[in-house]
A and B are shown apart, each in its own frame.
Chain A
Amino acid sequence: MNRFAELLDRLVLTPSRNGKLTLLTDYFRTVEDPDRGLALAAITGDLNIAAVKPAMLRTLVTERMDPVLFGYSYDYVGDLAETVSLVWPQTPGNIPNREPTLGEVVAKLQAASRSDGPKVLAGLLDSAGISARFAIIKLVTGGLRIGVSARLAKQALADFGAVDVSEIEELWHGLSPPYTTLFAWLEGKAEKPRNTAMALFRPVMLSNPVGDGDLEKLDPADYAAEWKWDGIRVQAVAEGGIRRLYSRTGDDVSGAFPDLADAMHFSATLDGELLVGDPQEATGTFSDLQQRLNRKTVTPKMQQRYPAFMRCYDLLQIGDEDLRALPFRERRGRLESFAGTLDPSRFDLSPFVDFTDWQALEELRRAPPHPIIEGVMLKRWDSAYVAGRPKGPWFKWKRDPHTVDAVLMYAQRGHGKRSSFYSDYTFGVWSGGEGEEELVPVGKAYFGFTDEELKQIDKYVRDNTVERFGPVRSVRADRDNGLVLEVAFEGLNRSTRHKSGVAMRFPRISRLRWDKPANEADRIETLQALLDR
């Protein structure tokens, strides 16, 4: 249990992706079965343990210590799981000579009934030290919140076994904790596990951005062009009565889109974009789509207002026939006839964009006909469907980003290499009438600048600090003083969480405008106009 607890503690404080991968692979290497597999399941959210409510936890602890002292402690720490793990009284003489393993803890928790759950939990807390108690409480209260996605955990498995992550993704949904056969294969001690489960995920084919000079080397006649829809890439798989919608990293998202899943009356694997609206009438914007994202359950009203549909790009399998090795031209032909058999309110075909030369396509890319189009896709007519991001067969050619001139308001210290630099910037634009202008924060960015520019901004922040709050400094920013940043972003969403009412997608610093006076930075109305398009 201690090694798992230590892993959680390290992961939560390690900001860098590579650092997290090292910690995870080291853990997989040094910890034996079934503990490592259970830890993996806990991280990917695949471990099923009956949950304990926070109120129950509080009751358990105040039965064991003075409630006033507990109150002082909780006020100070602010996190219930952490407070309980620290103050839990241990009776000397009742301390076992070894701490329970993760396997033992999970077995006890899974065997507990609803009524004896609290008693089992208290017994486990009695037998564990501080870090292990924290990890146990995190397991039973659900949600580790350690900044590790399922995707990152799968990447760590791939690194550990020196295989491609697509192999892990393809296997994943046929496996279950504690993944002993998976680890045995990754360690070279056994054959690759064979998948016998139905409706499995097929690793997705991705594209590369068009780089400078790329197109000059390519013949337009070799490529088909489609609009690049700014929804969510999904894979719809129906097989043997099982229907699943997967994200492009293989997470099962069927639960969030029951309306679409219900319409999958077929036996096939489709690749496409998940959008909202009616494919026959009008496609919803990204803000509309957002209403359906990151929800555990979705109300009928929500399904009616923002119906989900799939715009099909590709057909990977039909019945028992795997089409992935066929050229795109042939797969597309099969897709076109297959799409005709589908529910037209839930599925449509991604249309081709006609073009003769790159110049003509360039013009279409710059001025797409719909706000949820973010550019064009180029696909070689003869390309097979392969996992990952091979260079050559598929390209994405995105619309130019939006830009806005904003004023630097707050700067926060970075991590790792950047721990001595103020490298995370919150910026704002002007709002309010003449004479009453004030800056309203509209976003935060921490990349897009060069190392040299970082040094310059850092110096500016240190020289113009108005206030300090821990790792954050507020920077002098008014009508006459302030650093103007040109910020590039992909799109804008309405936000109720931000005072400005807008949230930027993928913001980054594109230029430092040392030359521009703060009062000439953009106004909030400029951004609002983008929302209303």
Chain B
Amino acid sequence: MRESAVTYNRLPAAELYPILGIMRASDLLHPRPEGLYCPPGDFFIDPVRPVDRALITHGHSDHARSGHRSVLATQQTLDIMGLRYGEDFAGTTQAAQLGETIALNGVSVSFHPAGHVLGSAQISVEHQGTRIVASGDYKRQRDATCAPFEPIQCDVFITEATFGLPVFRHPPDTDEIARLLKSAAQFPERSHLVGAYALGKAQRVMRLLRDAGYDRPLYIHGALAKLSEYYQSQGIDLGTLEPATVEGGDQDFAGAIVVGPPSAFADRWARRFPDPISCFASGWMRIRQRAKQGGVELPLIISDHADWDELTATIKETGAEEIWVTHGREEALVRWCELEGIAARPLHLVGYEDEGD
């Protein structure tokens, strides 16, 4: 096993940094209770409490909160925040163009696609010769509902680690959708209830069904309506979507595919469907016991987060000499970096869901 200390030695000794005019990475970004803070730029990335200036990677509610004085994010992320929290979710907003550099108190900031959900971005922060890229949440699998991840060369790469264990290996999403369609054909008298997070996963599942040639109407839970309509307005065709309601008609949903947030299926809401087959689209469905505990009959391993192979490949592609690992299973990824001779440490940020997918 190679010693990780060897890697540190490639950089000049820390006390020489001010003399050489190089910024120490931990002086450029470090965790504070509010979130990841950049002292020279005076801004936070994905803060969990209201702050003066927030840079936001994507619209999931644990990353994008309301009540900041000013928010810088992609236009789509701003739109999604507006849909979720109302138009006055922040004092002022500024839309970041992907790839464009914005100067904040002399710190160069740029947004790059993360491939997680519509509008999601990695944020690159560069100052005095040191560049850190905060990935936010990301994946490398192709996804027709958002722009693909672009690897950015950097000194420090902050990676998420939701699926940071070698057991997490996501299969091709098209195989998973094929299993759903096969089951729908096998059990035409039953309805298939697909649990999927309201932002991103739900729309991706619907789009995958369309790409697989499924052209019957899809029935959706009310919690998905606004966001799905927004995706459609952004040119992502999801086909005919109908509300999964019983009012005003005696729709019996036999043979239907219904998409809704996972929580809805354990609820009384689900009783309107005939002998439903409960499906859940998530990277967690890789583990049988997780499916069993949740009463899931048809697990669909479809994830918006990088799996183990994507995480390790991405770390290598960024060329980063140091890796900071955040929300998820840090220890295995840190261990892998050690074995590869890459400096790595967990970055303890609070307030993010480790389990969302």
| Interface stretch of the complex, out of A167-175, A409-417, A435-443 | A409-417
Q: Does A420 lie within 8 Å of B288, measured CB to CB?
A: no
Asked whether A86 and B166 contact (CB < 8 A) given A10-B298, A13-B298, the answer is yes
B295 touches A471 (CB 8 A): yes
- Write out the residue numbers on chain A whose beta carbons fall within 8 Å of the beta carbon of B168: 86
User: Which residues from chain B contact A69 at a C-beta distance below 8 Å?
Assistant: 166, 332, 335-336
Within 8 A of B (CB), among A1-60: 6, 9-10, 12-15, 19, 22-23, 26
The answer to whether A22 and B186 have CB atoms under 8 Å apart is yes
List residues of chain B with CB within 8 A of the CB of A87: 166-167
Scoring A65, A72, A421 by chain B CB atoms within 10 A of each residue's CB, the highest score goes to A72
Number of residues on chain A facing chain B (CB within 8 A): 36
Q: Find the residue from A65, A66, A413 having the highest chain B CB count within 10 A.
A: A66
Q: Which of B58-81 contact A (CB under 8 A)?
A: none
> Which residues of chain B are within 8 angstroms of A19 by Cβ–Cβ distance?
187, 297
B211 to chain A, nearest CB (A): 21
Q: Does A162 contact B (CB under 8 A)?
A: no
Chain A positions within 8 Å of B299 at CB level: 13
A470 within 8 A of B: yes
The CA-CA distance from A75 to B156 in the complex, in Å, is 30
Q: Complex formed: what's the CA distance from A470 to B291 in Å? A: 11
CA distance A6 to B182 in the complex (A): 11
Chain B stretch 145-200: residues in CB contact (< 8 A) with chain A: 165-169, 171, 179, 183, 186-187
Query: What are some 7 contacts across the A-B interface (CB < 8 A)?
Result: A13-B296, A13-B297, A72-B335, A73-B332, A416-B276, A420-B270, A471-B266
B interface residue numbers (CB < 8 A to A): 165-169, 171, 179, 183, 186-187, 265-271, 274-278, 286-289, 291-299, 329, 331-332, 335-336, 339
Measured CB to CB, the nearest residue on chain A to B275 is: A417
- Are B293 and A471 in contact, CB atoms less than 8 angstroms apart? yes
The 10 closest A-B pairs by CB, nearest first: A86-B167, A420-B270, A87-B166, A72-B332, A73-B167, A417-B275, A470-B293, A13-B297, A420-B271, A73-B166
Q: Which residue of B lies closest to A12 (CB)?
A: B288
Known A-B contacts: A77-B289, A416-B297, A471-B295. Give 14 more (CB < 8 A): A10-B298, A12-B292, A69-B336, A72-B331, A73-B165, A73-B166, A76-B165, A76-B287, A83-B167, A417-B274, A417-B275, A420-B266, A471-B293, A471-B294
- CA of A421 to CA of B166, assembled, Å: 36
Which one, B183, B329, B335, contacts A66 given CB within 8 A? B335
**Which residue of chain A is the closest to B299 with respect to CB atoms?**
A13
B57 to chain A, nearest CB (A): 26
Q: Is A282 an interface residue (CB 8 A)?
A: no
What is the CB-to-nearest-CB distance from A450 to chain B, in angstroms, rounded to a whole number?
16
B265 — which chain A residues lie within 8 A by C-beta? 419-420
Q: How far is the CB of A453 from chain B (nearest CB, A)?
A: 15
Name the A residues within 8 Å of B269 (CB-CB).
420
Residues in B with CB closer than 8 Å to A77 are 167, 287, 289
- Which of A22, A66, A82, A419 is within 8 Å of B295, CB to CB? A419
CA distance A70 to B308 in the complex (A): 13
- Interface: A130 (CB within 8 A): yes
- Cβ of A78 within 8 Å of any chain B Cβ, yes or no, is yes
Binary interface encoding of chain A residues 414-440 relative to chain B, with 1 for a CB under 8 A from any of its CBs, else 0: 011101110000000000000000000
Closest chain B CB from A29 CB (angstroms): 11
Bound-complex Cα distance A9 to B270 (A):
24
Q: Which residue of B lies closest to A72 (CB)?
A: B332
Chain A's closest residue to B301 (CB) is: A130
- A68 within 8 Å of B (CB atoms): yes
Tell me if B335 and A419 are in contact (CB < 8 A). Answer: no
User: With an 8 A cutoff between CB atoms, is A219 at the interface?
Assistant: no
A131 vs chain B, min Cβ distance (A): 8
B292 contacts A13, CB within 8 Å?
yes
B335: A residues at CB distance < 8 A: 66, 68-69, 72
Cα–Cα distance between A419 and B294 once the two chains are bound (Å): 10
A413 touches B287 (CB 8 A): no
- Interfacial chain A residues near B287, Cβ < 8 Å: 76-77, 82
Q: List residues of chain A with CB within 8 A of the CB of B275.
A: 416-417
Is A214 in contact with chain B by the CB < 8 A criterion?
no
B289 and A14: CB pair below 8 A? no
Residues of A contacting B266 in the complex (Cβ-Cβ under 8 angstroms): 413, 419-420, 471
Q: How far is the CA of A26 from the CA of B276 in the complex (A)?
A: 19
Minimum CB–CB distance for B176 against chain A, Å: 12
Kindly state the separation between the CA atoms of A88 and B336 in the bound complex, as whole angstroms: 16
On whether the beta carbons of B169 and A130 are closer than 8 Å, the reply is yes
> Is B288 a contact of A79 with CB atoms below 8 Å?
yes
Q: Is the CB of A26 within 8 A of B186?
A: yes
Residues B295 and A413 in contact, CB atoms below 8 Å apart: yes
A70 — which chain B residues lie within 8 A by C-beta?
166
Contacts of A15 in B (CB 8 A): 297
User: Which of A6, A77, A413: most chain B CB closer than 10 A?
Assistant: A77
Contact status B267-A420, CB under 8 Å: yes
How many Å lie between the Cα of A343 and that of B296 in the bound state? 54
In Å, the complex CA distance between A415 and B265 comes to 11
| Chain A minimum-CB-distance residue to B167 | A86
A415 lies within 8 A of B297 (CB): yes
Chain B: minimal CB distance from A170 (Å): 30
- Which chain A residues border B296 with CB–CB below 8 Å? 13
Q: Whose C-beta in chain B lies nearest to the C-beta of A412?
A: B295
CA distance in complex: A351, B243 (Å): 67
How far is B265's CA from A26's CA once the two chains are assembled, in angstroms? 27
- A415–B298 alpha-carbon span in the complex (Å): 12
Determine how close the nearest CB of chain A comes to the CB of B195; give it in whole angstroms. 11
How long is the Cα–Cα vector from A65 to B339 in the complex, in angstroms?
Answer: 11
Alpha-carbon distance A22/B166, docked complex (angstroms): 34
Choose from B165, B271, B277, B295 the contact partner of A72 (Cβ within 8 Å): B165
